[in-house]
Structure 1
Amino acid sequence: MSDRQEAKRATNGAIRSEQVIHRVEFAVPGSDTRVSKTYRLRAPTLGKLLDSEFPERRHLLSPWLRQQETAMVYAETGVGKSMFAASVALAVAGGGEFLGWRPKLREGERGYRVLYVDGEMHIQDIQDRMRVLIKAVPGVDLEAARGNLQVLARQHQEPGTEFPSITDPGGMQFYLEHVKTDKPDLVILDNFTTLGEVEDENAASSFNAIQAFLLGLKTCGVATILVHHAGKSGDFRGSSKLAATFETIVKLERPGQNKAMGEARFRVDWDKVRAGGPDAVLRPILAKLVSQPGGDDGEPMGAAWEHEAGDLERLEEISQMLQRGDFTTQTEIADFYGVTKQAVSKWVEKAERMALWTEDQRHRWHAKGKQMRRLGRTHAPVRPGLEDDDQEEDDTPF
């Protein structure tokens, strides 16, 4: 082949049409019926792809939720996953802050459009919850949130009304059509168990429908959060195949020794984070929803989210060592970490405020440590590496 023919062939390859159109005919499995279908797909060449400019996918909640991404939030019953999801909805819709995360907004923007789908709560309970959480999410533009956040609740419909399922073809089509028409930026589905149905949670094929639905929402340009339950193993219920489509998977679990249900208190862990960029470095967070009294003007009682990330690993380490009986006093904690007793007092106060342990538990753990020390079973703990440093100094000749 001549140089000219080679150049022509390369040029023809570079300017191939981006659209691929094929009409296919096939038999329906298990029947004699034949079906024809036309596919119209985009398939750019590498040159076309590299030369293309795509709109920026901004963070609906920085740094972990961007436009057109899917996330799953899961936890055991009673941990507070619906409180988490509703707070996310308010922060995104009203430009507020939740656990240190905020939406990235351009100048003049006041929030993003959110569709919140609830499968089990009474609409009045949702109303009460939103009224409390509005005050718990700092910086929320209430006027913007009132217009941006739409609530679709099963228990708000007329008796006998069929509610669309996220695993049924008709229900999935309903949501996709609604998204195309109303154009929300974020859809929150709370929760999978009440909004969809699978034949066998352990069978990977049972999750084909929900995966196709979530991918369909992506192609419509919308981000999605699926709220789900944890199983007996502590992982999310169902086949691991469900995880494939999510950019982010968030696990909420009760921290410490206090497992009381009925309060929103959890540790935020990141099972999966696919988002890119330096802002995507995510650390575990300890969060607690704290009730606050109403105002003197008759305003109803509110709430506030308290959260801790910076000292969390240290506090959890102290908790484990206290439970083992390693520390008999707070002075030993200060010596172990090389800080003042005042610093330890602040750590202890923070841990007890976040319900990582109670004051009574701490006293009992100190008593356990003293008893073990009297029996000669333990010694005052020393920071790792300190013995080696001392040995090196002893071995140094004068």
Structure 2
Amino acid sequence: MLETIEPDTFYAHDREGNYIEWNSQEQFDRHHDGKDDPKRITATPFAWPDPTKIPRRRWLFGHWLLRGEVTAIVAPGGVGKSTFTAAMALSLASGSEFLDKSLPEGARTVWLWNLEDDRDELDRQFMACSLQHGVGPSECGSRLYVDSGLDQRLCTAVEAERGLEIIEPVYENLKAEIEARKIDVLTVDPFVSSHEIDENANVLIDKVAKRWKRLATETGCSIVLVHHTRKMSGREVRAEDSRGAVALINAARSTLVLNPLSKEDAKKFGITEEAERRTLVRIDDDKPNRAPPENAWWMKLESVNLDNGGGLHPSDYVGAATHWTPPDPFEGLSTRDLYNVQLAIDAGEYRDSVQAKDWAGYAVAEVLGLDVEDETEKERIKSLLKTWKGNGALAVEQRKVRGEDKPFVAVKNWVDPTTLPTLKSGVGKGGEGGVPTHQSHSPHPTFYKGGWGGGGVPCNDENEGRENA
């Protein structure tokens, strides 16, 4: 079957994906004389295997790297993708979960091939990470391989006169080395430097990406291809923002996307220093079609002193990737704090709008001892209200104000006071940690059981809730 890529030019491709040019369909048919016709297509009945006998997926690094599959990493320049891949390689080689990502098969053999940086820069990256996390040759053994594209070139495909040419000897050499060294994870950074194909040619990039996939399948290796994004103009990156053709992203089974911490999120987390904001990067799996969706994973770039200075030349400070956990707005709060907030909301008239003078956030601030004038604490209050409205502890209802409907915050599902620790002063008259409470006159129609640190389980039986009152 021929494809037309340019007017009056016909191409066929062999099993390796190489394009062969013919002047016409007639010439193609005359040359092959039916010898290369495909076999008859048949439908295969489903065999209904025993599910317990189906081979399990073999994850190597959380739910990001899978044996026999390709993972793409997409990021704009300067975010820290090379720092991240170096840390991922060191974590795998050492068997140390310092990035807070599980290593289901323990320490693995890793080969990182950076096609842009020279050997000295790669040494800086790995040693900064080594110093930061306290792992070295004794932990990694002989499981870490690092190459620079400036010392050893990698080119897997070119555009020849007759079209795409997959350089099979390169893939065969890669396969041989992966098998000889027992490589479990191969990272190529960046993908665009590993071929000489127009990166906007979707059909051609698809052939190259699928050849990498075939290599992963044949060797059982997890292959990571790092890719740049197009110019984003400050916009958040998604998988589809990868530069050039989308074929690479389509071929990958997992696509990790790196974004710097936005100013909006920094404000929510109480980060006011611009220098600190720039050290934080969010990593999302934007295409987790082989694993459950995960929440965002955060990376912090720590500055590590290599202590390599002398004389007039100061030491190098190099970034090392660490795992970072955003501050939890519910940290230090208890179920009693929510109950006290409910009592305060129920005792007054509080608007849902943050611009209102009687915003519900003022009641929360008074109960919890927070300062609404402080931007960080105000963002925390907003997060608390959003969560409580989302899980049903509070609700928004419309009330008439001078003939117009206005949104007010009200209690929806009450905390069951019988589940709170009994104090000498009695439930509702004293708060844990000195938090004041307010007396309620509401007939609590529905109670919540269990902990309320941002969640909570509603009583399914309303009568049970009333009896507990």
Q: Could you say which TM-score interval applies, normalised by the shorter chain?
A: 0.5 to 0.7
Counterpart of 1:307 (choices 317, 324, 328) is 324
TM-score, with normalisation over the residues of structure 2? 0.54
Partner of 1:389: 410
SS at match of 1:341: coil
Partner of 1:219: 217
**How far off its partner does 1:301 sit?**
7.1
CA distance 1:123–1:185, shift in 2 (3 Å): same
Instruction: Kindly report the root-mean-square deviation, in angstroms, between the aligned alpha carbons of the 2 structures.
Output: 4.7
**How far off its partner does 1:93 sit?**
1.2
**How far off its partner does 1:62 sit?**
1.6
* Residues 254-292 of structure 1: per-residue CA shift (max 9 Å, x gap): 11238879975311122110224xxx3411123211125
CA distance 1:338–1:270, shift in 2 (3 Å): farther
Partner of 2:138: 143
Which structure has the greater CA radius of gyration?
2
Percent sequence identity is: 20
One-letter identity of the residue aligned with 2:322 = W
**How far off its partner does 1:123 sit?**
0.5
The answer on whether the counterparts of 2:86 and 2:126 sit within 8 Å (CA) in structure 1 is yes
One-letter identity of the residue aligned with 1:389 = A
Partner of 1:165: 155
Alignment of 1:1-398 (within 5 A): 28-30=20-22, 34=32, 46-47=46-47, 50=50, 53=53, 55-105=55-105, 111-137=107-133, 140=135, 142-157=137-152, 163-168=153-158, 169-170=166-167, 171-201=170-200, 203-220=201-218, 221-233=220-232, 234=237, 235-257=241-263, 265-276=280-291, 280-292=292-304, 303=320, 305-308=322-325, 311=328, 335=364, 339-341=368-370, 348=376, 385=395, 387-389=408-410
- Counterpart CA distance in 1 for 2:132 and 2:362 is 34
**Structure 1 or 2: larger helix share?**
1
* Residues 83-113 of structure 1: per-residue CA shift (max 9 Å, x gap): 11111111111111243103113xxx6x111
- Counterpart CA distance in 2 for 1:76 and 1:28 is 36
SS at match of 1:242: helix
* Residues 276-335 of structure 1: per-residue CA shift (max 9 Å, x gap): 4xxx3411123211125679xxx9978562412574999xxxxxxxxxx9699xx96893
- Counterpart CA distance in 2 for 1:188 and 1:333 is 52
One-letter identity of the residue aligned with 2:324 = H
SS at match of 1:155: coil
The answer on whether the counterparts of 1:167 and 1:213 sit within 8 Å (CA) in structure 2 is no
CA distance 1:200–1:123, shift in 2 (3 Å): closer
Partner of 2:453: none
SS at match of 2:216: helix
* Residues 1-32 of structure 1: per-residue CA shift (max 9 Å, x gap): xxxxxxxxxxxxxxxxxxxxxx9xxx954165
CA distance 1:213–1:61, shift in 2 (3 Å): same
CA distance 1:304–1:391, shift in 2 (3 Å): closer
- Counterpart CA distance in 1 for 2:230 and 2:363 is 39
SS at match of 1:177: helix
**How far off its partner does 1:120 sit?**
0.9
The answer on whether the counterparts of 1:187 and 1:223 sit within 8 Å (CA) in structure 2 is yes
SS at match of 1:188: strand
CA distance 1:66–1:382, shift in 2 (3 Å): closer
**How far off its partner does 1:184 sit?**
0.9
**How far off its partner does 1:118 sit?**
1.1
**How far off its partner does 1:53 sit?**
4.3
- Counterpart CA distance in 2 for 1:199 and 1:218 is 23
One-letter identity of the residue aligned with 1:255 = L
- Counterpart CA distance in 2 for 1:128 and 1:62 is 26
* Residues 191-228 of structure 1: per-residue CA shift (max 9 Å, x gap): 11222232251x32131232222221222211111111
- Counterpart CA distance in 1 for 2:262 and 2:92 is 30
The answer on whether the counterparts of 2:171 and 2:215 sit within 8 Å (CA) in structure 1 is no
Q: How many residues align?
A: 310
One-letter identity of the residue aligned with 1:265 = L
The answer on whether the counterparts of 1:291 and 1:304 sit within 8 Å (CA) in structure 2 is no
Question: Higher relative contact order by CA 8 Å / sep ≥ 6: 1 or 2?
Answer: 1
- Counterpart CA distance in 2 for 1:38 and 1:113 is 40
The answer on whether the counterparts of 1:252 and 1:267 sit within 8 Å (CA) in structure 2 is yes
One-letter identity of the residue aligned with 2:124 = D
- Counterpart CA distance in 1 for 2:330 and 2:293 is 16
CA distance 1:28–1:131, shift in 2 (3 Å): closer
The answer on whether the counterparts of 1:248 and 1:271 sit within 8 Å (CA) in structure 2 is yes
- Counterpart CA distance in 1 for 2:330 and 2:22 is 56
One-letter identity of the residue aligned with 2:69 = E
CA distance 1:394–1:48, shift in 2 (3 Å): closer
- Counterpart CA distance in 1 for 2:329 and 2:285 is 14
Partner of 2:450: none
